[in-house]
Amino acid sequence: MSTAPEHAAGTVPGAAVDPYALDREGLEALVADRGQPRYRADQIHAWLVRGVDDPAEMTDLPTALRGELATRFAPTRPELVAHTVADDGHTHKLLLRFPDGEAIETVLMLYPDRATVCISTQAGCAMGCPFCATGQAGFRRQLTAGEVVRQVVVADAALRSGAVGEAHLPDGAPSRVTNVVFMGMGEPLANLPATLATVRWLHDPDGFNLSARGITVSTVGLVPGIRQLAALGLPVTLAVSLHAATDALRDDLVPVNRQHPLAEVEEVMAEYRRTTNRRVSIEWCLIGDVNDDAEQADHLGAIARRLRAHVNVIPMNPTPGVRWKEPTRARTTAFVDRVRHRGAAITLRDTRGRDADAACGQLLASYTLGAGTRLPAAVGAADRVDAGLSLPTLQRQATDAPARPVGSSDAPDQGRGT
């Protein structure tokens, strides 16, 4: 098992480290450096799982070790700068700001039998999907493994205490996080070291102990990253955001398609299913008069049937600064029925799922606009639609356009961009 760079940093004598960026091996190396037995690493890890990062509070450690850890640990504690509550207290969107000023979104969704937290892996996103507020705001930086793990720990601590900030959680809310979805800001597989390290941290049976089946990693289709996720050997759910089922349209809606076209994405999804024995999901943000027609439904149905994938349809949720529209109810129903009649399993997500999964960047956008800052105007297809070009024209332009080298321009491939 490879060790992420953040984790290796924990073994460098004298270097300050975010304790949540240390995996089990990193903690063991840290205590070994101090001549401490291995079980001390387990004790520290248990505190971290419970949300305690201050060595002074780790009361089962020797006083001298607590003092030494205090000089080594530099926890990256996020500040809660905005919090919106929806669905009668069952959905909590948190805007967390890290000490360098970068803010990201984390969403906690409560159900009778589970608590799901939706986490971000990047501040901003370089994938440039033109219908997405996060994509339009651009990429700012990668989150560290510690910053990604911390989002789950914050949500878990809220569940344990029964409140998020001043807001009490509803009666009967689960007391632990049971599911984690990598569907917040950013492309998880463009920050592969942090994503893989977080999956391992969450799944650690002697630590957070989250079932791999309770973890979903979402991607726009970064093929090498999907292969590396499969190589973890864990039945993590893979959710691929297709949003278009023809290359002509997908090149425009999901620009990384020019680097990894649909056939390649479908092939690696089939490979992932074979390797992990886990059904894959297809995410589809349904955009009014853009990808809600019969042709797209037919192609999507065929792909899903071949992959035996489950399709989740999330109607577009208009976001500040993004000029795309919600599909009509009639077109939504017709689309879902048509995909289903092609033999595919499909679910129309409810409003809550839409808020949480398809509106990445919305809280940040509201916060930024509230502070008097304008998001960049939506570009690409959105502007061209506004300029009066028909969709077929738009599709032709996308087909004629030279392939954009995503990995070398504004959209880092995995392993780059930090």
Least Å from the CB of residue 361 to ligand SF4: 7
CB of 136 to ligand SF4, least distance (A): 8
Residues 79-138, interacting with ligand SF4 (CB under 6 A) = 125, 127-129, 132, 134-135
At 343, the amino acid letter reads: G
Which residues does 124 contact at the CB level (< 8 Å), separation at least 6?
Answer: 134, 137, 138, 139, 140, 141, 185, 186
Q: Are 121 and 105 in contact (CB under 8 A)?
A: no
- How is residue 282 written in tokens? 């297809």
Quote the least distance from Cβ 281 to ligand SF4, whole Å.
Answer: 15
The per-residue DSSP string of 306-352 comes to: HHTPEEEEEE----TT----PPPHHHHHHHHHHHHHTT-EEEE--HH
CA 110 to chain centre: 18
User: What x/- string results for residues 358 through 377 when contact with ligand SF4 is judged by CB under 6 A?
Assistant: --x-----------------
DSSP 88-125: GGTEEEEEEE-TTS-EEEEEEEE-SS-EEEE--SEEE-
Pick between residue 27 and residue 190 the one whose CB is nearest to ligand SF4.
190
Lay out the site mask for ligand SF4 across 277-316 (x = CB under 6 A, - = otherwise).
----------------------------------------
Bridge partner list, 108: 92, 117
Q: Of 127 and 339, which CB lies nearer to ligand SF4 in the complex structure? A: 127
Q: Does residue 253 touch ligand SF4 according to CB under 6 A?
A: no
Known catalytic residue at 295: no
Q: What is the CA radius of gyration of the chain?
A: 22
Residue with smaller CB distance to ligand SF4, 26 or 135: 135
Neighbours of 404 (CB within 10 A): 17
CA distance 236 to 230: 8
The smaller minimum CB distance to ligand SF4, of residues 61 and 192, is found at 192
Residues 184-223 that bind ligand SF4 (CB under 6 A): 185-187, 220
Q: How many residues bind ligand SF4 (CB under 6 A)?
A: 12
Give the active site residue among 28, 68, 105, 283: 105
Token code pair at residue 216: 């979903």
Rounded Cα–Cα distance for residues 238 and 11 (Å): 32
The three-state (H, E, C) secondary structure of 189-226, written as one string: HHCHHHHHHHHHHHHCCCCCCCCHHHEEEEECCCHHHH
- Region of 62-70, 181-189, 275-283, 327-335 interacting with ligand SF4 (CB under 6 A): 181-189
- Beta carbon of residue 68, minimum distance to ligand SF4 (angstroms, whole number): 40
Number of Cα atoms under 13 Å in the Cβ half of residue 400: 6
269/307 Cα distance (integer angstroms): 7
Identify which of residues 197 and 360 has a Cβ nearer to ligand SF4 in the complex. 360
Is 360 annotated as catalytic? Answer: yes
CB of 408 to ligand SF4, least distance (A): 18
- Closest CB 111 distance from ligand SF4, rounded Å: 23
Q: Least distance (Å) from ligand SF4 to the CB of residue 346?
A: 20
Considering beta carbons, is residue 137 or 169 the nearer one to ligand SF4? 137
Which residue sits closest to ligand SF4, CB atoms considered? 135
Active-site residue set: 105, 360
Residues contributing to the site for ligand SF4 (CB under 6 A): 125, 127-129, 132, 134-135, 185-187, 220, 360
